[in-house]
Amino acid sequence: MHLLFWGATALLFLSFVWIFKGVLTPFVLGIAIAYLLNPVVNALVKIKLPRLIAVSIILLSFFMFVLAVTILAAPPLAREAAALAESIPGYVDQLVEYATPYLTKAQEQFGGDYIEKTKALLQSNAGKIIQITAGLASGLANGGQAVVGFFATLFLTPLVAFMLMIEWPRIVSWVNDLIPRKNEKIVTGLLADMNAKVAGFVRGQITVAFFLGAIYAIALSIAGLNYGFLIGIAAGFLSIIPMVGSTLGLLVSVVVAWFQMGTIEFVGIVAAIFVVGQIVEGNILTPKLVGDSVGLHALWVLFALMAGASVLGILGMLLAVPVAAVIGVLLSFAILQYKNSSLYAVAAPKKMPTKKKAIKKVAKKTIKKSIKKKTTK
């Protein structure tokens, strides 16, 4: 009965998300912001500040910070993205020129038209990247549904976050009241584990990604790498998935550095920036901001993000990490229940005593009986 009830509940939730996926993005963003900022609001409420004032201060400060970062970062990002799109065909020609001697040897040995095929493949992919970039730019410039959706999200997200943060204590009380009384301790424990994983990973990893993006962008720009600001911000953003952002950023930066200068020294400087960034992340940022108790593996996060993006797009990526954390907690609980059940731990049969052990046991008993008889006499 319990399994059917929770299965039906999960199915209804998934159906709701699928049906209304087109309008859920601002609400999911608002819920995420309220969830992430609520502990700060609670801290202000504890010092006797009215909740309405605390919510207004925190939310206004948060959105002013986001606006300031956007104003500062958007112009150089747009400029470098446009420059990179224009430079891709030149990079393709340089890459083909560099690889031509090796392709010529392969063509002489095995036959075939490797050079023409490679050049056509690279140029077609470069053309696709340029078309996608141009399409995004023209879509934003010309207006339409995307722009309407953007402004709807821009307006609704703060409103949803504000209303949820005001009503947060009542929402928590309402949810606690729905917990089955019979299994209250188990459900409360599971919810606490889910909250620890989601809050720890999301708050911590987003902060780590922000700092890494700033470090990489500033350092690569100072080093003089072409598109360094764009590559650094992208590497920081992708660092939400541990190790992925730094690895991809290192590879792209090294390639760009080689095409830009063609010297090992410059490539080494660029690579050293990412090595230092990884040292700072591993020894300072991650231990302080994320901790060791989160328990979300990088591969699990990567799979969740890719699966969410393929099913629900941007909305799926927003829901991916919380859903992955919840599934991880439920799977851990299910495995623990399985190991404590008779399906896993069947009592082993008692070993039958050997002949010699049985004879010794009988002999000891008879000796004890004879001694007792003598003492009684």
Higher pLDDT, 4 or 353: 4
What's the pTM value of the predicted model, to 2 decimals? 0.66
Report how far apart, in Å, the C-alpha atoms of 241 and of each of 84, 151, 295, 305, 319 are: 24, 28, 13, 9, 14
- 8 Å CB contact between 324 and 296: yes
Q: With a cut of 60, say whether residue 148 has pLDDT above it.
A: no
pLDDT tens readout for residues 27-61: 888 888 888 888 889 899 888 889 999 999 999 99
pLDDT tens readout for residues 86-112: 777 777 777 777 777 766 766 666 555
Q: Which has the minimum average pLDDT: 69-83, 152-166, 299-313?
A: 299-313
The Cβ of residue 161 has, within 10 Å, a number of other Cβ atoms equal to 27
Q: Which has the minimum average pLDDT: 208-212, 319-323, 328-332, 371-375?
A: 371-375
Of 130, 119, 121, 120, nearest to 86 (Cα)?
130
CA dist 242 and 160 (Å) reads 30
pLDDT class for 25, splitting at 50, 70, 90? confident
CA dist 304 and 298 (Å) reads 10
pLDDT at position 188:
85
- 8 Å CB contact between 231 and 256: yes
Residue-range domain boundaries for the chain: 185-341
pLDDT tens readout for residues 270-315: 999 998 988 888 788 777 766 655 556 777 777 887 888 777 777 7
CA dist 339 and 357 (Å) reads 34
Alpha helix ranges (H) inside the chain: 2-19, 25-46, 51-110, 114-142, 145-178, 184-223, 228-238, 244-260, 264-280, 286-289, 298-312, 314-339, 355-376
